[in-house]
Chain A
Amino acid sequence: MAIELQPLEQFTIERLIPLHIGRLDISYTNSALLMTIAVVLITALVVLSTRRAALVPGRWQSVAEISYEFVADMVDTNAGHGAREFFPFVFTLFMFILFSNLLGLIPYSFTVTSHIIVTFALAALVFVGVTIVGIVRHGVHFLRLFVPEGVPAVLLVLLVPIELLSYFIRPFTLSIRLFANMLAGHTMLAIFGGFAASVGVFAIFPLGINVLLVGLELLVAALQAYVFAILTCLYLRDALHLH
């Protein structure tokens, strides 16, 4: 079966407005365009819907309130007490990833989070921020995070390197998880689309699978934003309360 498949074509970055400063390429790309749209939509949702806040919320105010309460609840239950001051950060992170994922599902648009550089930047931001919070809160005692309590000294030789490794691998697992989900999902959609284009009358079968896959992708888009945010909360709890 010889099919001309180009499923990774959807991830190409195009320069919409070329901009160069010296040798630095800061062109406005389709990736940047989708990020701008996501930020504008989130701001519009949160600001406009609560402008005329009513006691009995309307449709849009409900959406804004539900997402606010969802993230606030997540921060309270997972990051422990005293984590409320980090709520704006987690809310921004969650909404940005959620909107980027969902906007990417619109046909012929572009998925910002399918590029490892974007997800790694987000994960590195979380990692560096959480580490700074831990060091500011606990000073040198922050290092106790890597020494489990009540463990015989012989085992510590083994456990401390493992704890260190599992701490420093966090930005990588956090970013690769989101990136791989988006890459695999969208590539799969494109592959089944390619099948549908090449088998004539029987196109109904791959098309049907694609409909189901879009449903799964909607779930994954929301779930991965949730996972990213909840893991940020768990890392924050480690830094704030040291186990």
Chain B
Amino acid sequence: MDLASAKMIGAGLACIALVGAGVGIGNVFSALISAVARNPAAQAQVQPFAFLGFALAEATGLFGLAIAFLILFVF
């Protein structure tokens, strides 16, 4: 296998990390929706934590995406 195709495959593999981010973000917001549906008065209290969780979950996936970009465009 030559280097160019190995890089492509490696970048594709690195993008698998985004699966976890997708699951995580979905989880965060589904929990937010069910929490607000059960107790609408709590929305103001739980929403900041939901966005904190969204940002933290998204960041872990982006580590993988950043690695993919580095493989493709830097090395």
Contact A181 B62 (CB under 8 A): yes
- Where the two chains meet, the residues of A that have a C-beta atom closer than 8 Å to any C-beta of B are 5-8, 176-177, 179-181, 183-184, 187, 220, 223-224, 226-227, 230
Task: Other than A7-B73, A8-B69, A177-B59, give 11 A-B pairs with Cβ distance below 8 A.
Answer: A177-B56, A180-B59, A180-B63, A180-B65, A180-B66, A181-B58, A184-B65, A187-B73, A226-B51, A227-B59, A230-B48
The size of the chain B interface, using a CB distance under 8 A, is 15
The residues in B between 4 and 63 inclusive whose CB is less than 8 angstroms from any CB of A are 48, 51-52, 54-56, 58-59, 62-63
B74 contacts chain A at the CB level, 8 A cutoff: yes
Contact B69 A227 (CB under 8 A): no
13 residue pairs of the A-B complex, CB under 8 angstroms, read: A8-B69, A177-B59, A179-B66, A180-B63, A183-B69, A184-B65, A184-B66, A184-B69, A220-B55, A223-B55, A227-B55, A227-B59, A230-B52
Contact B62 A227 (CB under 8 A): no
Of B48, B63, B69, which is within 8 A of A187 by CB?
Answer: B69
The majority secondary structure among interface residues of chain B is helix
Contact A8 B74 (CB under 8 A): yes
Contact A224 B55 (CB under 8 A): yes
Bound: A176/B59 CA distance, A: 9
Closest chain-B Cβ to A191's Cβ sits at a distance in Å of 9
Bound: A226/B53 CA distance, A: 12
Contact A183 B52 (CB under 8 A): no
The interface residues of chain A lying within 8 Å CB-to-CB of B54 are: 223
Q: Which 3 A-B pairs have the closest CB atoms?
A: A177-B59, A180-B66, A227-B55
The interface residues of chain B lying within 8 Å CB-to-CB of A226 are: 51-52, 55
Closest chain-B Cβ to A227's Cβ sits at a distance in Å of 4
Of B48, B59, B74, which is within 8 A of A181 by CB?
Answer: B59
Bound: A176/B70 CA distance, A: 14
The interface residues of chain A lying within 8 Å CB-to-CB of B52 are: 226-227, 230
Most chain B CB neighbours (cut-off 10 Å) among A180, A183, A187, A227: A180
The interface residues of chain B lying within 8 Å CB-to-CB of A184 are: 62, 65-66, 69
Closest chain-A Cβ to B46's Cβ sits at a distance in Å of 13
